[in-house]
């Protein structure tokens, strides 16, 4: 196992910068997820760590060793790709043992490692099958098995679940997490799916346009997003964001651009007298007989919860109620806002005001 560091890493393709000075510290044994929208540079960062892409500036270290110019096979990493990259003409067993054979591992040792990985992944009975005879989830497990047999210092995953259907994705999420709890190998995992990041990571790195926007535990990012981008990216349904300003009369409230007053408790001094964005997660809006009136625009029962879009003043708010609501679009609901869970951001810089 090993720790990993990105120290002021930069990368340009031609004159086009795609990684613009990235610093990330990954502790030994940690499960870190790089997440961000398409094109933000997360795969490029992972490929640089793997040695599949060169580094324009800065340093990448694995276990304290600078690996910038080391070829991939000398980095002691194993990567699981989105498309699995299995050899179609090889059985599961041969696919899993292939890298050991290339490295001229003794046959008995290779067999032992393949059996061990197959046992962990529930592939014991499929060792003689070819990739075409496997389901998507099984292929994904073989790809992981191939990484496990190498017993690397670091596992790298590049969107490994994106080819699976929604249900299987949820199941494999839990499997990968369990695998990490068992092997405790340092893991760097790339996805554009914030739910994957929230549910699996010890630490999340949110990227946007070649820079790191925030690093933290899933709940730190959820509860204290550093800026509008992170607030909007993490959480589903998305955080509501409403423009306006503070009015300090009667103990303080937030006045939206159409004049609606929304509650806010203990606004920071820095929030006074400037254009703001009021960030409110959907679950902090609740039904209340004496609350603000809102018109139902869309109502979506999910079974356990009800998701709504509610027009309040001039804003359509995402709401999540942990109960069943039988009302229809066009009807009015009264809602209360939990003022202690309001986030205020500077409208100009996008930064959280604390």
Residues that bind ligand ATP (CB under 6 A): 13, 18, 36, 38-44, 192
Does 237 sit behind a cis peptide bond, omega within 30 degrees of 0 on the bond before it?
yes
Could you tell me the smallest distance in angstroms from the CB atom of residue 56 to ligand ATP? Answer: 12
> Cβ 258 to ligand ATP, closest distance in Å?
37
Measured from the CB atom, the residue of 212 and 296 that comes closer to ligand ATP is 212
Q: How many CB atoms lie within 10 A of CB 215?
A: 19
* Residue with Cβ nearer ligand ATP (41 or 279): 41
Residue 108 to residues 43, 76, 115, 308, 320, Cα–Cα distance (Å)? 36, 21, 11, 60, 56
> CA distances (Å), 210 to each of 8, 21, 100, 165, in order?
12, 8, 36, 29
Q: How far is the CB of 41 from ligand ATP (least distance, A)?
A: 4
Place of tokens 């804003």: 315
Residue nearest to ligand ATP (CB): 43
The partner residues of 276 in beta bridges, in order of sequence, read: 244, 346
Would you say 44 or 256 has its CB closer to ligand ATP? 44
218/236 Cα distance (integer angstroms) = 13
Kindly state the smallest distance separating residue 38's Cβ from ligand ATP, in Å: 3
**Closer residue to ligand ATP, CB minimum distance, 33 or 110:** 33
Nearest approach, Cβ of 162 to ligand ATP (angstroms)?
9
Nearer to ligand ATP among residue 13 and residue 87 (C-beta) = 13
The CA–CA distances, whole Å, from 45 to 282, 299, 337 equal 33, 40, 40
């Amino acid at each position: 196992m090993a720790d990993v560091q990105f120290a002021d890493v930069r990368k340009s393709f031609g004159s086009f910068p795609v990684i613009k000075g990235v610093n990330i510290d990954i502790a030994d044994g940690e499960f870190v997820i790089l997440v961000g929208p398409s094109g933000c540079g997360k795969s490029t960062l992972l490929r640089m760590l793997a040695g599949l892409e060169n580094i324009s500036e800065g340093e990448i270290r694995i276990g304290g060793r600078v690996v910038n110019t080391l070829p991939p096979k000398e980095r002691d990493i194993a990567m699981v790709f989105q498309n699995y990259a299995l050899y179609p003409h090889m059985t599961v067993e041969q696919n899993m043992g292939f890298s050991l054979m290339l490295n001229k591992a003794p046959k008995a040792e290779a067999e032992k490692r393949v059996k061990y990985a197959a046992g962990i992944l529930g592939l014991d009975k499929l060792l003689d099958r070819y990739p075409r005879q496997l389901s998507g989830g099984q292929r994904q497990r073989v790809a992981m098995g191939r990484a496990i047999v190498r017993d690397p210092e670091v596992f790298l995953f590049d969107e490994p679940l994106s080819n699976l259907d929604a249900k299987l994705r949820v199941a494999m999420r839990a499997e990968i997490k369990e695998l990490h709890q068992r092997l405790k190998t340092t893991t760097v995992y790339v996805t554009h799916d914030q739910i994957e990041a929230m549910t699996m990571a010890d630490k999340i790195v949110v990227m946007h346009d070649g820079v790191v926007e925030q690093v933290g535990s899933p709940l730190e990012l959820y509860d204290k997003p550093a800026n509008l981008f992170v607030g909007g990216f993490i959480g589903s349904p998305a955080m509501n964001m409403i423009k306006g300003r503070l009015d300090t009369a009667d103990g303080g409230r937030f006045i939206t651009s159409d004049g609606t007053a929304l509650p806010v408790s203990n606004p920071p001094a820095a929030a006074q007298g400037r254009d703001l964005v009021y960030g409110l997660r959907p679950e902090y809006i609740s039904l209340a007989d004496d609350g603000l009136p809102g018109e139902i625009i869309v109502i979506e029962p999910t079974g356990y919860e009800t998701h709504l879009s509610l027009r309040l003043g001039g804003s359509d708010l995402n709401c999540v109620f942990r109960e069943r609501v039988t009302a229809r679009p066009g009807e009015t609901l009264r809602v209360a806002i939990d003022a202690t869970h309001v986030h205020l951001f500077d409208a100009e810089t996008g930064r959280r005001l604390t």
